[in-house]
């Protein structure tokens, strides 16, 4: 591989790596949002479950 080819590969690798890091960060955020949504859904269900138990 010539030095010119190495620089071209490096430049394209920078773009690829940046997009990859961004995708990874978004994936991490998505996992956190999914977990928080599940927690909130559980929290919203709790009072209703308690009320059903009281009625019964």
Partner 1 sequence: MALALALVFFVAPEDADQGISQKIFYFHVPLALTAYACFATAAWKALRLLWTGEERYDLESYTAVHQGTIYGAMTLLTGSIWAKASWGRWWVWSEDQLVLFLVLFLFYCAYFMLRFSLEPGPSRARISAVYALFGVALIPVSFLAIRLSKNFIHPVVFTRDGPQMTGTMFAAFCVAWAAVLLLAALMYRVELLGKRLDLHLRELREALGAS
24 binds partner 1 (CB under 8 A): no
Most distant CA atoms of the chain, gap in Å: 79
9 by Cβ neighbours in 10 Å (0-12 / 13-18 / 19+) ranks as exposed
27 binds partner 1 (CB under 8 A): no
Looking at the Cβ atoms of 3 and 52, the one nearer to partner 1 is 3
Provide the token pair at 3.
Answer: 């030095």
49 binds partner 1 (CB under 8 A): no
The rounded distance, in Å, linking the Cα atoms of 42 and 48 is: 10
Looking at the Cβ atoms of 43 and 53, the one nearer to partner 1 is 43
Provide the token pair at 40.
Answer: 């909130």
Contacts with partner 1, residue ranges (CB under 8 A): 2-5, 7-8, 10-12, 14-15, 18-19, 22, 26, 29-30, 33, 36-37, 39-40, 43-44
């Amino acid at each position: 591989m010539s030095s010119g080819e190495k620089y071209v590969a490096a430049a394209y690798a920078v773009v690829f790596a940046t997009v990859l890091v961004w995708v990874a960060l978004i994936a991490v955020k998505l996992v956190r949002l999914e977990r928080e949504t599940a927690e909130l859904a559980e929290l919203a269900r709790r009072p209703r479950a308690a009320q059903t138990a009281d009625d019964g």
